[in-house]
Amino acid sequence: MSMPTIREVRAYTVRGGGADYHDQGEDHWIDGQIATPMGKYPEYRPHRRNFGLNVLGTLVVEVEATDGTVGFGVTTAGELGAWIVENHLARFIEGTRASDVEKLWDQMFNATLFYGRKGIVLNVISGVDLAMWDLLGKLRDEPVHQLLGGPVRDELSFYATGARPDLARDMGFLGGKMPLVHGPAEGDDGMERNLAHLAKMREAVGSDFWLMWDCWMSLDVSYATRLAQRAREFDLKWIEEALPPDDYWGYAELRRNVPTGMWVNTGEHEATRWGFRMLLEMECCDVIQPDVGWCGGITELLKISALADAHGRYVIPHGSSVYSYHFVVTRHNSPFSEFLMMAPKADRVVPMFSPLLLDEPVPENGRMSVSQLDRPGFGVRLNPDCELARPFTH
């Protein structure tokens, strides 16, 4: 088969869930009080929408091949991302061979280096890259996991992220990762309240269930060290993203400080092989957690993962639903996956990118068979009920 080229790229935005899963209505657990780097300002403490966690919205990138086949990818980037795709990246995408993902990635990254490197530009590059892999799978009539070398196991197993690990246990998950509620600005009282909550959850779930804390970049080395040491009593499995992403030195120190056996995990706000090289070479963490929609897409995640493997580290991607599943199932050093509980009360399993995608598989009893991923590309469709806007055209 001769490989078609890309005829057109289109960038759309959509609000309310989807890839910007923090873009939820009121009373969602994900927007309750959670420790954040903005928690030192009392007015921005009660919920994260206050300081604009949901400002970006979802970016949907569609790539249409000359034979009419359309691939798409989603990420968190909204209008800003749409502008970058339409006004800058389109020149590299259109006319490229649908299988030339490496060359396209290299061109997009190098052409944006003067204002990119991390953050929203890498989200956008990731979105385009996911669209290209989806297209390639559809053109070859194969799931993306086959394009990546094929599954190394028959099923995926999941831990749940949400406010109710006690309910996640009953739903069959391996463990529950809770948001830390109180940050350093809330002093000793906040520390005691965090520990009391962990104690209560350990009591509720028993001893054979993982419990973790997601600290969402909110702590400093001293607070995180004290928290981790005191959490040992309650068998905390890992402490996640305890520090700001640029504090590689702090992570290395924290990793030396935590009790033996407790993991220090991080990386969901890190990007590219160079960012992860810092985390790995500086021995910042036990597990890296790249988000395939933010770190550079599948093309870059393959490199990050190989680097982690050479350092003897697990790669447990952050969220990202099918975009993660197709990758995780092909890697020996990705033995389990995250599932984000997007039901407002974290009391039932709903698709992670709801309502944007149709056919999005979800775990049952904490597991998912690879056969649920056996559709061309990433195997999902855009929900026609979600109103897409195309703010810019080129």
| 79 marked among binding-site residues | no
Among 127, 250, 319, 363, binds ligand L6UHLTYX (CB under 6 A): 319
| 134 contact, one of ligand L6UHLTYX, Mg ion, none, CB 5-8 Å limit per kind | none
Interface residue with ligand L6UHLTYX among 318, 326, 331, 375 (CB under 6 A) is 318
* One residue of 159, 216, 238, 294 binding ligand L6UHLTYX per CB under 6 A: 216
Closest among 15, 118, 136 to 72, alpha carbons compared: 136
Q: CB of residue 36 vs ligand L6UHLTYX: minimum separation in angstroms?
A: 8
Three-state SS at 59: strand
238 binds ligand L6UHLTYX (CB under 6 A): no
The residue (of 180 and 370) whose beta carbon lies closer to ligand L6UHLTYX is: 180
Catalytic residue among 28, 145, 318, 326: 318
Tell me the one-letter amino acid at 117: R
CB of 232 to ligand L6UHLTYX, least distance (A): 21
Do residues 258 and 239 make contact, with C-beta atoms less than 8 angstroms apart? yes
Bridge partners (DSSP) of residue 238 are 212, 263
Q: What are phi and psi of 363, to 5 degrees?
A: -70, 145
* H helical segments located in the chain: 78-84, 90-93, 101-111, 119-140, 144-147, 165-170, 187-205, 221-231, 248-257, 272-281, 297-310, 321-328
CB-nearer residue toward ligand L6UHLTYX: 324 or 330: 324
Q: Which residues bind Mg ion (CB under 5 A)?
A: 214, 240-241, 268
- The closest alpha carbon to 287, from 309, 312, 265, belongs to 265
Q: Give the three-state DSSP class for 158.
A: strand
Is residue 20 part of the contact set for ligand L6UHLTYX (CB under 6 A)?
A: no
Cα 242 to Cα 223: distance, rounded to the nearest angstrom: 9
Smallest gap from Cβ 32 to ligand L6UHLTYX, in A, equals 10
Q: From CA 300, how far away is CA 297, in angstroms rounded?
A: 6
31 belongs to an annotated ligand binding site: no
Q: Is 182 a catalytic residue?
A: no
Nearer to ligand L6UHLTYX by Cβ, of 138 and 164: the residue is 164
Question: Binding site for Mg(2+): what residues are annotated?
Answer: 214, 240, 268
The residues annotated with a catalytic role in the active site are: 318
